[in-house]
Amino acid sequence: MIAAISVTFFFIILRFTVTVFNFISNPKLPHVKRLYPYKVSILIPARNEQENMLNLLESIYKQDYENYEVIVLDDGSTDNTHQLCADFAEHHHQFKVIKGKKLPQDWLGKNYACHQLALEATGDYFLFLDADETVYNGLLTSAVHRMNVFNLGLLSLFTNQEMKTLGENSVVPLMHYILLNLLPLRLVFLIKNSAVAAASGQFMLFDANIYREYQWHKAAKEKVVEDVQIMRMVKAAGINGEALLANGMISCRMYTGYKEAIDGFSKNFLAAFNYSVMALLFYLVIVIGGPMIVIMTMNLQLIFFMAGLIGLSRVMVSLSAKQNTLLNLVLHPLQMVNLTIIAFLAIQRHLTHTNVWKGRRI
C-alpha cells in the first residue's frame, strides 16, 4: 500500500510540475498586428457539414487578413454541404468549392481530402481548418508572423473549445487537461527530437514550399492521428515545428452532445498511446486508480494534499484554455469517469476493428 501511494504521489507531483511549467511559460500564440503580403490558402475538408459551414465561411470573410483564398473540398457529403458552399462562393470571389475524388483503399478520408486540397492551393502558406470552427481577427496575421519569425515549417494551434451542454462540458475539457498535464508544450519547438511532438488537426499552418516538397498528408495517409504524426515527420526532417494554444483567435465546437463527444474522443484516443493497450491502461491506473487508493486510506492529510494538487492543476489548465474553472473543478470526478469510458471504448473498438467515424471505418 505504501509503495502504491508513493508511486501515485510521484506521478501527481510530476504532472502538477508539468502543468505549472505550461501555466508559467504561457504557450499561446501572441496577438500581432503586423501586415504581411503572403497569400494564405485556407483549406477545409468537409463531409456532411451543412450545420457548420456557413458559420466558418462567414467568419473567414469577416476577419482582417486580406490576401487569402478559401477552398472547400466536399468529401462525399450526402447533405446540403456542397450547395451551401457553392452559393456562398458565387457571391465571394476568394472562395470556391470542389468535389472530392473517390477514396482509395490505402487512405483515410480526411488525409486524402487534405492532400487533394493542397494540390489545388496556390498560396505561400497552406492552412488546414475543420468545418466546425470560427475564425477571429488577428489569427492569420499572428500565425503568419510566427511562421516568419521562428522559421517554422508547421504551426499547429489547439483551438479554444465551445461547449454548450453538460455532456460536452463533462468530456471536451479532457483534451486540454491531458495535454497540459502531460506535455510541456514549449518543448515541441525547443527540443528538436521528433519524439516530442504535439499537434491539432483543427489548425495546421504549413510553409507551402516545404509542404509541396514533402507532401505531408500523403506521407501520413493511413494515420488516424495524422496531425501528431505529421509534426513528428516535420521535426524528423530537421524542420522547425511548433504547437501553441490559440489564445482566443479561433474556436471550435467539436461535438454537440455527450454521445457524440464520447464517440469522437474514443475513435483516436488509443492512437495517442501509439496503440499500446498496456500504455493506456497504465495511464488510467496512474490517473484514476492511484487517487482511488489514496481516498481508500481515509487519511485526510493525504487526501487533501492530493485534492489540492489536482484542483490547482485544473485551475491552471482551465485558465490557460479559457474554460470555466469552477465548472471543471465541479465536474472533475465525472470527467474522470468519462475518461474511463472513452478508454474502454477505444480499446474495445481497436481490438474488434469496429472504429467508425462519419460513416467510414477507420
Work out the average pLDDT over 17-27: 97
Work out the average pLDDT over 193-213: 95
What pLDDT, in 10s, does the model give residues 136-166? 999 999 999 999 999 999 999 999 999 999 9
C-alpha 168/C-alpha 257 separation (Å) is 6
Q: Are strands 356-357 and 360-361 parallel, antiparallel or unpaired?
A: antiparallel
Residues 6+ apart with CB under 8 A from 105: none
Distances (CA, A) of 203 to 43, 155, 233, 245: 10, 8, 17, 10
pLDDT score, position 212: 97
What pLDDT, in 10s, does the model give residues 119-131? 999 999 999 999 9
Contact present, 235 and 118 (Cβ < 8 Å): no
Residues 6+ apart with CB under 8 A from 163: 169, 172, 173, 253, 323
C-alpha 30/C-alpha 247 separation (Å) is 7
What pLDDT, in 10s, does the model give residues 337-348? 999 999 999 888
Where residue 357 falls among pLDDT bands split at 50, 70, 90? low
pLDDT score, position 343: 92
What pLDDT, in 10s, does the model give residues 316-325? 999 999 999 9
Of 344, 336, 176, 337, nearest to 270 by C-alpha is 344
Contact present, 156 and 243 (Cβ < 8 Å): yes
Does residue 73 register a pLDDT over 70?
yes
Q: Where are the domains of the chain?
A: 2-25+259-352, 40-256
CATH of domain 40-256: 3.90.550.10
Where residue 358 falls among pLDDT bands split at 50, 70, 90? low
pLDDT score, position 360: 56
